[in-house]
Amino acid sequence: KTADVLQARRNHEAKPRPTIERLQARSRKMARWYIPKSAVSYRIRNFLLKLLPYSWIVAFHANTLRSEIELS
């Protein structure tokens, strides 16, 4: 314990910070898939999603959630 409020805040921030940074980096990478930069990318993504079996899409999301839980 510390009486210094600023030091206490730094200590509190230091523990979850690495996990938060990993989750944020992962989210930025995934955002590229969900929010394509161009109309062409958007159409390609939609076309590919129509070709994939639904079970693969569900498995992808389940694995993503599982790995995010493991990171935290």
Q: Which two tokens stand for residue 33?
A: 């898939």
Predicted local confidence at residue 9, as pLDDT: 87
Q: Is the pLDDT of residue 71 over 80?
A: no
Q: Is the pLDDT of residue 70 over 70?
A: yes
Give the number of domains in the chain: 1
Side-chain-side CA neighbours of 70 within 13 Å: the count stands at: 7
> Residue 63's domain spans which residues?
5-71
pTM, two decimal places: 0.55
Closest CA to 64 of 36, 18, 38, 33: 33
What's the pLDDT tens digit per position in 19-67?
Answer: 889 888 888 888 888 888 899 999 999 999 899 999 998 998 898 888 8
